Amino acid sequence: THERKPPSPLIMSQGNSARILQLTLAVIKPDAIAHPVIFKAVHEKILLNKFLIVRSKELSWRREDSQNFYREHSGRFFYQRLVEFMSSGPMRAYILAHEDAIQLWRSLMGPTKVYRARNTEPESIRGMYGLTDTRNTTHGSDSLESANREITFFFPEFCVSHWYQQ
Ligand code: ADP
C-alpha cells in the first residue's frame, strides 16, 4: 500500500548532521482510558516532552489480539490476568517520534510494578496513576526491534522502514 511521506519535523539538525527521529510504540491501557482525567494527564505528558505524534488511534482488542501480543509472557502467573485486562476495554495507541523516543517514554512510564513505581519513581506515570502490577496505565516498547514489531502490530498500514529511509 502507498504510505504518504511523513511530515518534515522528523529531521532534526544537530551541528551539521541531520538525523531521523526514533520511533516508539506507546499505549494508554484500558485502566487509564477509563478515567478521563488520567488519560488527559498521560496525553499531556506526551505533549510536554515534545514527542511528535506520528499516528494515534483508539482501539479495542479481542482476546486473541491480547494473547498474541503478549505471547512471550504465556508461561507467567499473571498471563491470564494480563490478557483479560488488555481486552477489557478501549485503549489508545501512539506512534511517537523523538530523538530518544524508546528510552524517554520508558523512563516517563516508570517501573512495571506499582509498588516499586510509587516508591522509587513517584513522579512517573505508573508511580502516579498505576493501580496494580497488571493495571499499570501504559505500555512502551523496550528496544528498537520491539518498537518496529509493535508499531506494525498496532498500525499494520504504517511502514517503519520507509520512515527510517527518509
Ligand atoms: P513492561 O510493560 O514494563 O515492559 P513487561 O513486559 O515485563 O513490563 O510486562 C508486560 C505487562 O504485563 C506489564 O506492563 C504488566 O501489565 C503485566 N505484568 C508484568 N509483570 C507483572 C506481575 N508481576 N504481576 C502482574 N502483572 C504483571
CATH code of the domain in which 86 resides: 3.30.70.141
What is the structure's pLDDT at 166? 75
Helices (H), the chain: 30-33, 36-48, 63-69, 79-86, 101-109, 114-120, 125-129, 144-154, 160-164
Do the domain assignments include residue 112? no
Please check whether residue 51 lies inside any domain of the structure.
Answer: yes
**Is 123 domain-assigned?**
no
8-41 pLDDT tens trace: 455 555 565 567 899 999 999 999 999 999 999 9
Ligand 1 pocket test, candidate residues 28, 112, 125, 138, most atoms within 8 A of CB? 112
Q: Is 68 annotated as ligand-binding?
A: no
Q: Check residue 115 and give its pLDDT.
A: 97
How much is the ipTM here? 0.98
Answer yes or no: is 113 within a domain: no
118 in a domain, yes or no?
no
Number of domains forming the structure of the chain: 1
136 in a known ligand binding site = yes
Q: In terms of residue numbers, what domain contains 55?
A: 8-101+138-164
Residue 156 belongs to a domain: yes
Residue nearest to atom 14 of ligand 1 (CA): 112
**Residue 126 belongs to some domain of the structure:** no
* 133 assigned to some structural domain: no
Read off the C-alpha cell for 57: 488511534
Q: What pLDDT, on the 0 to 100 scale, is given for residue 11? A: 58
2-6, 55-59, 116-120, 126-130: which range is least confident on average?
2-6
14 Cβ neighbours under 8 A, 6+ residues apart: none
Q: Give the global pTM.
A: 0.91
pLDDT for position 12? 55
